[in-house]
Structure 1
Amino acid sequence: MRETRQIVQLWQQGGASVLVTLVRAEGSSYRRPGARLLLGASGEYTGTISGGCLETEVVRKAEWMVRNGAIVERYSTMFDDPADIPFGLGCGGVVDLLLEPANTPECQALMAALEATVAGEDLTVLTWLPRDGRELQRAILDANGNYTFASDRLTEPELVAVRATVLGRDNVNGAPVGIFEERILAPQRLFVLGAGDDAKPLVSMAALLGWRVSVADGRAQLTRWERFPEADRVMTVSKGSYGTLGIRTNDAIVLMTHSYEQDRDLLAAVLPVRPRYLGLLGARHRSSLLMSEVAGMLKWTVAECCAQVYAPVGLDLGGDGPEAIALAVIAEVQASCMGKPGASRRLLPEEVERHVREGGGTRYLPVQCAMDVA
């Protein structure tokens, strides 16, 4: 989401020329569908659509490639015959890139949608990819499934049919062939409840990911903007005003006030919301006492409380100090919110042998990645 913010910022400066979107990936790919790159008026760009292998080549040719309108271009190293492959990747995958002029109503609508998601909206973008003589067309649905934009050439029956498909009434497999569907979500919201010095690296790391961060504490001397310049909100809250935080079920919360009373009262206030992630900083015996007290306050069982709280907070990464703790916490929040276990993905010997055996004579094309040093 930080990358989306940067793309929006470049767009807002004016003069953008080409928007590049990764719309399909097969095999190994550094980025997944939905990754973008925006080319500015002076040749500058922001965003990435590979690990660095493609950007230089794409930026160099982008304006020329869209001189007649939007196109989809394929880049691959999966075949021995490079006759139809315009450029090589160092990753060993196949990617399709949509390149579109920035001055079209469709591109302007997409950029407005990205602005809206950065501001907190969830949207669905449907792009009819240019193919078989058909020009690029686009439609955008809000969180309630209502169209906020549709290309002039899209007919009402077509829009009605694809809307029903995307909303899952007719087809659970998503958009029809030839339509690139994106669910663009608002940035993850993180509430850091506790404004001590150890909260600073946590806020910085969350901001680096593009999350919207709110910092709150009951001690006014700690909740000063200059202490958390990367936060979206810095608030002083008292016991009776926890409701003003506006915490929702899809939010992430890290409780780290270092005050037993504050932690207890905040935990009792936020647990009934059942947020997406709730982590509690502190030693195991301290967290056990807190959970026991809060269970009594809420008339919940201890098991119900434990099922909702990550305590002690953070993955077991090792290390010491505020930065190491912040890294462990951010990693756990990311894994939890993305539905991932957070386990290592390192190669095993038998996996290497299987890939080599099943790959047969397949080889990478003898091309040089733009990131390679001569």
Structure 2
Amino acid sequence: MKYTYSVLEHLASRDSKYLATIINVEGSSYQKEGTSMVFNKDGSSTGLLSGGCLEADLYERIKLQDPSFTSFSTLYDMSSEDDLSWGQGVGCNGTIQVLVERLTDQLKRHFITLSAKLNEGFEVTLIKKLTANYQLVGYRFVCEDGTSFGTLNEITNSESSSLTKEFPFVYFKASQCYYFSQLFSPPPKLLVFGAGPDAIPLVELTSGAGFKVVVCDWRPGFCNEDYFPKAHQLVIGNTKELICQTKPNNHDFVVIMTHHFQKDKELIHQLLPMKVRYLGLLGSLARSQRLLEGVQPPKWVHYPIGLSIQAKDPHEIAISILAELIQVKNRSTKTELMNI
């Protein structure tokens, strides 16, 4: 996830020149469809398509293209341990198809618009149309708010409905072309209620993993930039004010770690009706059950918080919480369709 946002941030830069994207995977691979990277004018790059075993070769292939090329596709077969056809023999037991596009000013502007939509909280699906030999025909960004933009004029319902998260690359015999879809989601928001010392490693780790972290507390002496320089936002107030200002929704992740029983209780009672995506309670099982007053909570309430790794100190506890957050974030149903 963090790679995705770092690539997006770099796409609009003056130095960026080529965008490379995995559009199809057969077998196993280090990265999946939709993984992208950017090559700069000087050959440096942002992002990874593999464990670092094919990026240099890909850049050499780019340099062999006609200087005026707009796009090309190349196949990497990494299925054999002793296959040295392109000098590696990595043995990942799969093949990957990579699409390389020149970053034109128009494409950069469209990616800037994409970033703006994500910052507004909307999901955006990028659909690319390719010929039977994997040449790019055009693309269109379709936004959750009903807007769309790009070089591709229209996409039929039958074509868009065939694209899912599990099957993002589909061939249509009637039109003899491929469609590839790539879903971009806003950075997940994590609300951390409680600005004690044990929240510091959690905020550092989760922000580094791509979460948009908001720290909430009633104590300005704790909830400040000196303690939480990586926080996206700091919110100060009583429990009602904190909820009112942060406006939790069903996409948000929430961690309660105030170490104040009554305030934890107030927060839980306000948050339960909001049906957030994840609510984690720091503390023992007995304490959490007391907070819930014997009520059986929904499945999205996690207590004790974090994956069970026998964590002992604040940093280890933060790691266990981050692991659980990632587990929930990446959980999806195989048949879930993209709403495009």
TM-score band by shorter chain is 0.7 to 0.9
1: CA distance, partners of 2:138 / 2:76: 23
SS in 2 for 1:247: coil
Map residues 147-296 of structure 1 onto 2, 5 A cutoff: 148-151=148-151, 154-155=152-153, 159-161=154-156, 163=157, 165-167=159-161, 176-177=170-171, 178-241=178-241, 242-292=243-293
In structure 2, the partner of 1:337 is 329
**CA offset at residue 232 of structure 1?**
0.5
Distance in 2, Cα, partners of 1:175 & 1:76: 18
3-state SS, counterpart of residue 264 of structure 1: helix
| 1:309 corresponds to 2:315 | no
Distance apart, 1:319 and its partner CA? 3.0
Determine the C-alpha separation between the residues in 2 that align with 1:12 and 1:92: 35
Checking the alignment, whether the CA contact within 8 Å between 1:19 and 1:38 is kept in structure 2 is yes
Runs (4 or more) in structure 1 with deviation over 6 Å come to: 79-83, 172-175
Residue of structure 2 in register with 1:31 after alignment: 31
Q: What is the TM-score of this pair, normalised by structure 1?
A: 0.78
Q: 1:39 to 1:116 in 2, by over 3 A?
A: farther
Output the amino acid matched with 1:52.
Answer: G
Residue 253 of structure 1 aligns to a residue in which SS? strand
Distance 1:21 1:47, change over 3 A: same
Q: Please list the CA deviations of residues 154-213 of structure 1 after superposition, one character each: whole Å capped at 9, or x if unmatched.
A: 45xxx141x4542579xx976742111111111111111111111111111111111111
Separation in 1, partners of 2:298, 2:167: 36
Change (3 A) 1:254 1:135: closer
Aligned residues: 321
Aligned to 1:94: 95
1:264 CA displacement: 0.6
Q: Equivalent residue for 2:337?
A: none
CA distance in 1, matches of 2:83, 2:89: 12
Structure with the bigger percentage of helix: 1
Q: Percent identity?
A: 25
Q: Given the alignment, which residue of 317, 322, 325 partners 1:325?
A: 317
Distance 1:174 1:43 in 2: 29
1:229 shift after superposition: 0.9
CA RMSD of aligned residues (A): 2.7
8 Å Cα contact 2:168-2:180 kept in structure 1: no
Q: Distance in 2 between matches of 1:47 and 1:235?
A: 33
After alignment, is 60-69 or 203-212 more displaced?
60-69
Query: What is the letter of the counterpart of residue 308 of structure 2?
Result: D
Structure 2 distance, partners of 1:332, 1:316, is 9
Q: Give the Cα separation in 1 of the matches to 2:256 and 2:49.
A: 36
Task: For residue 201 of structure 1, give the secondary structure of its aligned residue in structure 2.
Answer: helix
Are positions 1:126 and 2:120 aligned together?
no
Whole-Å Cα distance in 1 between the matches of residues 50 and 155 of structure 2? 35
Distance 1:270 1:166 in 2: 36
Rounded to whole Å, the distance in 2 between the matches of 1:46 and 1:174 is 23
2:223 and 2:81 map into 1 onto residues whose CA distance is 60
- TM-score, normalising length: structure 2: 0.85
Judged with a 3 Å threshold, the aligned counterparts in structure 2 of structure 1 residues 7 and 66 are, in CA distance, closer, same or farther, namely: farther
1:273-329 C-alpha deviation (Å, 9 max, x unpaired): 11111000011221111110xx7xxxxxx12x2544211111111131011101111
Query: Alpha carbons of 1:81 and 1:29: their partners in 2 closer, same or farther (altered >3 Å)?
Result: closer
Report the CA distance between 1:131 and its aligned residue: 4.2
Structure 1 residues 79, 65: closer, same or farther in 2, change over 3 A? Answer: farther
Structure 1 unmatched ranges of 5 or more: 296-301, 341-374
SS at 1:317 equivalent: coil
1:112-171 alpha-carbon deviations (Å, 9 max, x no partner): 42454356331010011254495431011000444x2131xx45xxx141x4542579xx
Which residue is 1:65 aligned to?
Answer: 65
Where 1:203 maps in the other structure, the secondary structure is helix
Which protein has greater RCO, CA pairs closer than 8 Å, 6+ apart?
Answer: 1
The one-letter amino acid of 1:94's match is T
Structure 2 Cα separation of the partners of residues 77 and 222 of structure 1: 51
**By percentage of residues, which structure has more strand?**
2
Residue 4 to residue 118, structure 1, CA distance change in 2 (3 Å): farther
